[in-house]
Copies of this chain bind each other. A is one copy, B any other.
Amino acid sequence: MKKKRQPARKAGGRKPPKPLIGKLVIFGVGLIGGSFALALKRQRAVGHVVGVGRSRSNLLAAKRLGVIDEMATDPAVAVKNADLVLLAVPLGQTRAVLAHIAPHLASHTVVTDAGSTKRDVIESARRQLGATFSRFVPAHPIAGTEKSGAAAAFAELFEQRNLILTPEPETSARAMKLVRAAWKLAGMRILEMTASQHDRIFALVSHLPHLLSFTAVANIAGQANAPKLFQHTGGGFRDLTRIAGSSPEMWRDICLANRDAILSALDGYLSDLEAVRGMVEASDGAALEQKFAASRNARAKWLLKK
């Protein structure tokens, strides 16, 4: 990513240029929220960062690491005069945070989120924010690792990754422009789609894989000889289950929030796996080889060229 050059200052000392965001408030200073703050700080695109969260020790770490400038406990006080509020909390907390802050938002404050599902977040925001809903920008940065917490945050997390925006008819152009500009400075490619499209796509490419991975570990852990089995797992199993190290709370909330699309994705996979089971049962070597070759080729074509 190219760094934005700061305009040269005239001799005689004018004030430095106003940053894109004077005051940024982040709810949930974890991997995503923390990395967003660091990315904007690196670009000198933010004046003051306030962090709000459930864990005091995490906020203290965030402050010590320079991720945030100030920690706050009262959401109402925290959002006062904010230019941008980012919700980077587990989906299950979205509604409560919106309800807390709604009465205290200034008329210029833009609110955005980083939730892994979009329809339910939009529904909460429409209900909790009322007229202010036009300044809410539903967003999902497609980035992350299986780690969590402020200490896992780093400024480069979003570089060359996709940000999906799912605006509603009410969403104001000014709010969109600010959120786009901020994530663009963090290095993201920006795409738009509807919330329904988003939720269907990510049920298939992200939520389903996580459920498969969690279940693969649970399957072994549930066997009578689990300790022996784990001793014999190799690199393949380790890779397959890397994402089973992800946050249980976050994934619980995603399952609840995107229930219908996930059920549909699960049904498709269950039916595909039943079909493979049928081929094994019938000792249909030709069908199995064709299936495996098609998968290997599709993976080579799509994943390796990305």
Contact = CB atoms under 8 A, between A and B. Distances in A.
Interface string A190-204: 000000000001101
A249 interface: yes
A211 interface: yes
Contacts of A77: none
Contacts of A123: none
A227 interface: yes
Nearest to A223: B204
Interface centre among A202, A274, A296 (most CB of B within 10 A): A296
Given A234-B205, A240-B239, A216 B298 contact: no
A254 B106 CA distance: 64
A248 B206 contact: no
B273 A285 contact: no
A229 interface: yes
Given A209-B240, A245-B299, A215 B276 contact: yes
A263 B239 contact: no
Interface in A208-228: 208-223, 225-228
Given A228-B201, A230-B303, A251-B292, A206 B272 contact: no
Interface centre among A162, A206, A239 (most CB of B within 10 A): A239
A262 interface: yes
B255 A288 contact: yes
Interface residues of A, number: 90
27 contacts: A142-B234, A161-B234, A205-B232, A211-B280, A214-B295, A215-B273, A217-B299, A221-B298, A222-B272, A226-B302, A231-B306, A233-B302, A236-B243, A238-B303, A239-B239, A239-B240, A241-B299, A241-B303, A244-B292, A248-B288, A248-B292, A255-B288, A266-B273, A266-B276, A270-B270, A270-B277, A273-B273
A227 B142 CA distance: 17
Contact of A217 (B142, B236, B285, B298): B298
A232 B223 CA distance: 34
A268 interface: yes
A6 interface: no
A229 B256 contact: no
Contact of A252 (B263, B289, B299): B289
